Chain A
């Protein structure tokens, strides 16, 4: 496993935006309106005035694969929204072992509370795009737009939801139940319809991360995926995706 490297979230010079939100840095005031994710979830509940506020304080950036936006034990004062991509949440145990505690996808949030010591590390599983909002500004605009922060995060899932999901999943008594539930979680988050009428569910994380997350040995995970394919629960099993019957 590569050591996560922190990126300087205050470095706005490095800002780059994805194609879906193709706006230049100078055109930033309109970036939110053009943002594809806004339509779906994140900022949909905000009125034009609030959006204008939010737009002023947020920054959008590219996060290269394996880079961390949040480092366990380090201070964090920003709320992050995943615009596109995926992240692995993990924490270190006392003896240096790493525990994978969840995954973030489009529309998910992390850094919901300002803290001197982040409880998690969040690393990009692929090149990803995030918006981040300094908590200080969110608190300031809360005076004029009450509840803006709550509504910002109400539509997505936070690291706290992820932790709850995880414990429920770990409590499941068979490997098949755990793997099926996991694929269902991914399907809800990032599954897509195929022209054939089937559902494609991307697996942006390595198998070892999935096994660790599910409390399974890698071998058990592989065996279980193969068994699910054989049973027809999965139509296709690829390295970075599964296909479900429609």
Chain B
């Protein structure tokens, strides 16, 4: 990052995986409002499904997801029953309308569930919402939990995209985050995936972890490049121990400084780009020819809860505890508490706990931020006109300063991030964002 840009880097900024941030969701939006939107989905309207599996065998201390260490598989089976019931409830509201184009299992650890139970979930989705062979099926895997024939079974179930949680290969770093995964374990998982004809592999990496140095992270990236995944996501670790008690197990003194974090992010970027990957958005890398790289190239990139995606469906149906749905400007989040979720779903009710309905102003800004973060010129006039005049003047001043430093291309109407200014993406968005006066709510911007 150019030195002249460093002062533009906000300390904290939203991730813009939803707009506005899930922190603004309230219980004013409940299951009735969500049910009404589901019932209004049009015939053949494309939608995606996200299934949350909140169980893990071990606790990774950095984790910011809704998860629980569960050693009793019977309790996971109860959860699966609640999921099957929720699928039925949502299916009845859709009653044949809409068209499922992609299905994503996230966690937690989705492969905590055995492949038979994953198969039962797919069967239920097929009967309630329709599931055809051309729908994308993706699953996040903990490589330590992958059994000998699991990848063959996943292929047989039609999974065609696998993302493998790696985070960092360095033993010191792994000890500091309580996630010990050997290179051999990941290597075996990758070989099994390749042997099972799974040719869309993604690795998740984290920078900003305790005890991480540019030297150790560079070695991690060497190993990743040797395994040649089709894509990689390099997320910044969000250390928020006041919100996530488990992160208190991480010694803050071991964390890299903000400058060191930035150096790690830039190292990863340089290494992936030098190895021929295309940067996608500000934290994904994809081999040319991978669908994500093609989507970025063609200006079709999107941003949703999974990060940057080529999924074109505007509607997302979230299933499981804490899962977020987005239908026609309405966000609906299921109960985070697994027990509460199970109770509501099993009774045949939607498990919506809170949500948000975008205002017309939100819609304008959501469009601006998606374009801006997804490498497209964003038409900002109507969004800026929706701001109070004092705020608008301040934003314009910021944009002119960013433009003077070459961080954005700005002709007074269209705003585009400069090619190398990806580290500033969230900060630039936040400087326009009417909700960002309280930046303390959000995580580190890089």
Contact = CB atoms under 8 A, between A and B. Distances in A.
Nearest to B97: A167
B130 A215 contact: yes
A62 interface: no
A217 B127 contact: no
A166 B91 CA distance: 16
B132 A215 contact: yes
Interface in B44-58: 44, 46
A49 interface: no
Nearest to B100: A215
A147 interface: no
A56 to B, nearest CB: 38
Given A91-B44, A167-B97, A218 B127 contact: no
Given A95-B46, A101-B44, A175-B127, A216 B312 contact: no
Given A93-B101, A167-B96, A173 B134 contact: no
Most buried by B among A163, A169, A208, A220: A220
Contact of A97 (B129, B130, B134): B134
A174 B88 CA distance: 11
A129 B243 CA distance: 69
B364 interface: no
Contacts of A173: 91, 127-128
B353 interface: no
Contacts of A208: 133
A171 B129 CA distance: 8
B288 interface: no
A95 B99 CA distance: 12
B125 to A, nearest CB: 10
B382 interface: no
Contacts of B95: 167, 171
Interface residues of B, number: 26
A33 to B, nearest CB: 40
Nearest to B42: A167
* A contacts with B: majority SS: mixed
A31 interface: no
Interface in A166-183: 166-175
A193 to B, nearest CB: 32
A173 B95 CA distance: 9
B158 interface: yes
A168 B96 contact: yes
B162 interface: no
A116 interface: no
Contacts of B132: 211-212, 215-217
Given A95-B311, A211-B133, A220 B126 contact: yes
Interface residues of A, number: 27
B131 interface: yes
Given A167-B43, A211-B133, A97 B127 contact: no
A177 to B, nearest CB: 9
A99 interface: yes
A3 interface: no
Given A217-B126, A217-B158, A93 B46 contact: yes
A2 interface: no
Specify which of A99, A163, A166, A208 lies most central, judged by the most chain B CB atoms within 10 Å of its CB: A99
B43 A163 contact: yes
Contact of A99 (B44, B127, B131, B133): B44
A246 B99 CA distance: 36
B131 A97 contact: no
Interface in B145-199: 158
A186 to B, nearest CB: 19
B131 A215 contact: yes
B313 interface: yes
Contacts of A101: 44
Interface in A198-226: 208, 211-212, 215-218, 220
Contact of B313 (A95, A167, A171): A95
Interface string B88-112: 0001001111011100000000000
B133 A218 contact: yes
B46 A94 contact: yes
Interface in A154-168: 163, 166-168
A93 B99 contact: yes
Nearest to A95: B312
A174 B128 CA distance: 8
Interface in A92-112: 93-95, 97-99, 101
A216 B125 CA distance: 10
B294 to A, nearest CB: 11
A171 to B, nearest CB: 3
17 contacts: A94-B313, A95-B313, A97-B46, A98-B134, A166-B96, A167-B95, A167-B97, A169-B96, A171-B96, A172-B96, A174-B127, A175-B126, A212-B134, A215-B130, A217-B126, A217-B131, A217-B133
Which 10 A-B pairs have CB atoms at the shortest separation, nearest pair first? A215-B130, A171-B96, A170-B96, A95-B312, A171-B95, A167-B96, A94-B312, A212-B132, A93-B46, A167-B43
Interface of A: 91, 93-95, 97-99, 101, 163, 166-175, 208, 211-212, 215-218, 220
Given A173-B128, A215-B131, 6 more contacts: A98-B134, A170-B96, A215-B129, A216-B130, A216-B132, A217-B131
